[in-house]
């Protein structure tokens, strides 16, 4: 079966000739065709998808609904039919159809390409000949660029560990970042190079070839969040999905395609997350490994400098971090947008400037400094700049510019306030007071949902619903009271099998890179 790219123009020509379409893939590519080509859906004979979760449901357009079927249950009946592979997995689907009795004699299958797919198609004769070398690729963050997010998180923690252990003496290391010129520090490391993950779609021909050359010749690929780009990898390459954290929030799109085909390994922090990863990532259980997360190691490696020097804040008897998860996202990530809370400050509980001032006075009295660190994708304009004598709001990029990841800074803290963020699960390893702001729990439950029910049974810390609860928590910290210690210790072995700061070492041993 020959694979050929198609365009909107070609589809319109086929429609005029009276063709009907068999569409394999019921996702964004098919929706795009229905949106861009008038009445395209009326010329569809069948829609099929390998995602069993959506089989026997309906693909909806503004004009009609079409049943989504099992690919192996469909046979070409119409004489003038066109086989359209409206999925990123067009090669895999073509191989599947070739092995079936119904489609093995089909001469051509047409796939709907992105720019990078079209380039890869035209140069497949070259890339298919490349073999893995002693090379390792790292990538962090979402598909949409968020400043400071493309050189951080689990991938960064593992990279720093490997540099400290001298892996770059034996392996060429490539960092995929948004803009290489923003990261001159990467190229200063021996045998390490930064290139852009945008090159496949927007780069010059030389940049595209350079990107795919490195991608196809890397033996190991480590990444967090964005992963569909790994479909361009070949045989003999090992793809490790480090993910970004094990927390409490449900996956945003519960009906999305399974992600099993994009990686060979993924890591979790403890037994509580084995089933959840299988469910929410849609991956095989034999790909999930309880090694601990790479960035959890940073909680065991506090910086030599103090928080006052690193963050340019006053000295205090105790330091507390508050890391609220996102409610309102940056515009590029509207698909993850949750809701806007009713608050003058953009924060739950601390909803008015009067409460902020009152809390600041209490913190000054207790000799506690509060750092409110915003989520990387939080729209910062939605949260007021609440900088007082004992309170400071910091964006993700401001933390990034310190040169330290957030878990390194949390290693110096005395307590953490969270809500539904995975950082709270990481912080359990510190065995320090932990609290959860739950004022908007019901709104979040309706908007996003949680992986645990009831949620409170799995929160390893004190629950904060009101401003008085928050003030009480700070008073406990000042007086050395750890009211949630018993509950935290009960949940610790469920959330963390390993409590030793050696997750990076275990991950590398898992894939045969141990020293």
Q: Where are the domains of the chain?
A: 2-113, 124-295, 299-495
CATH fold group of domain 299-495 = Rossmann fold (3.40.50)
Same fold, 2-113 and 124-295: yes
- Report residue 310: phi and psi, to 5°: -70, -45
CB 408 within 8 A of CB 501: no
Cα angle 405-408-411, degrees, rounded to a multiple of 5: 150
Rounded to 10 deg, the angle between the 503-510 and 153-164 helix axes is 90
Helix, strand and coil content of the chain, in percent to the nearest 5, comes to: 40, 20, 40
* Other CB atoms within 10 Å distance of the CB of residue 8: 13
Ranges of residues in the chain with a pLDDT under 70 are 249-258, 326-343, 376-385, 441-442, 444-449
Cα angle 126-230-403, degrees, rounded to a multiple of 5: 115
Q: Using CB atoms within 10 Å of the CB of residue 145, give its burial: 0 to 12 exposed, 13 to 18 middle, 19+ buried.
A: middle
CB 407 within 8 A of CB 298: yes
Across-strand partners of 371?
321, 392
Q: Give the per-residue pLDDT at 218.
A: 98
Distance CA 24, CA 199 (A): 28
Helical (H) or strand (E) element with 342 = none
Q: Give the per-residue pLDDT at 101.
A: 86
| CATH number, domain 2-113 | 3.40.50
Superfamily, domain 124-295:
CDP-glycerol glycerophosphotransferase, N-terminal domain (3.40.50.11820)
Model-level pTM? 0.86
Bridging pattern class, strands 65-69 and 58-60: antiparallel
């Amino acid at each position: 079966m020959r694979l050929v790219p198609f365009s909107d123009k070609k589809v319109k020509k086929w429609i005029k000739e009276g063709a009907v379409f068999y569409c394999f893939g019921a996702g964004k590519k098919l929706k795009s065709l229905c949106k861009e080509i008038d009445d395209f859906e009326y010329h569809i004979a069948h829609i099929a998808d390998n995602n069993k979760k959506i089989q026997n449901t309906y693909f909806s357009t503004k004009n009609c609904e079409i049943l989504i079927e099992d690919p192996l249950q469909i046979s070409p009946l119409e004489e003038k039919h066109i086989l359209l592979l409206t999925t990123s997995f067009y090669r895999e689907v073509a191989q599947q159809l070739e092995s079936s009795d119904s489609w093995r004699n089909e001469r051509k299958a047409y796939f709907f390409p992105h720019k990078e797919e079209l380039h890869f198609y035209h140069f497949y004769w070259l890339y298919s000949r490349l073999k893995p070398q002693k090379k390792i690729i790292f990538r962090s963050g979402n598909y949409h660029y968020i400043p400071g997010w493309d050189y951080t998180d689990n991938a960064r923690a593992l990279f720093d560990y490997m540099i400290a252990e001298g892996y770059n003496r034996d392996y060429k290391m490539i960092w995929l970042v948004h803009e290489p010129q923003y990261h001159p520090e990467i190229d200063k490391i021996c045998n390490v190079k930064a290139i852009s993950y945008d090159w496949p779609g927007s780069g010059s021909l030389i940049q595209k070839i350079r990107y795919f050359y490195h991608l196809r010749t890397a033996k190991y690929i480590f990444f967090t969040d964005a992963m569909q780009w790994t479909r361009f990898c070949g045989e003999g390459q090992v793809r490790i999905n480090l993910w970004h954290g094990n927390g409490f929030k449900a996956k945003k799109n519960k009906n999305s395609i399974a992600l099993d085909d994009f990686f060979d390994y993924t890591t979790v922090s403890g037994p509580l997350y084995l089933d959840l990863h299988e469910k929410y990532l849609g991956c095989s259980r034999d790909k999930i490994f309880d090694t601990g997360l790479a960035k959890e190691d940073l909680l065991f490696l506090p910086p030599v400098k103090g928080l006052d020097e690193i963050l340019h804040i006053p000295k205090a008897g105790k330091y507390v971090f508050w890391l609220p998860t996102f409610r309102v996202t940056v515009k590029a990530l509207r698909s993850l947008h949750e809701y806007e809370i009713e608050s003058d400050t953009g924060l739950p509980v601390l909803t008015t400037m009067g409460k902020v001032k009152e809390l600041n006075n209490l913190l000054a009295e207790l000799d506690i400094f509060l750092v409110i660190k915003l989520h990387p994708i939080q729209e910062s304009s939605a949260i007021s700049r609440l900088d007082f004598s004992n309170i400071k709001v910091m964006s993700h990029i401001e933390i990034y510019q310190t040169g330290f990841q957030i878990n390194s800074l949390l290693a110096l803290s005395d307590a953490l306030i969270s809500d539904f963020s995975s950082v709270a699960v990481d912080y359990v390893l510190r065995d320090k007071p932990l609290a959860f702001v739950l004022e908007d729990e019901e709104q979040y439950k309706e908007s996003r949902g949680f992986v645990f029910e009831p949620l409170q049974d799995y929160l390893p810390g004190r629950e904060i619903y009101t401003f008085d609860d928050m003030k009480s928590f700070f008073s406990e910290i000042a007086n050395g009271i750890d009211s949630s210690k018993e509950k935290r210790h009960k949940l610790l072995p469920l959330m963390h099998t390993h409590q030793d700061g050696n997750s990076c070492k275990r991950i590398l041993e898992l894939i045969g890179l141990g020293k």
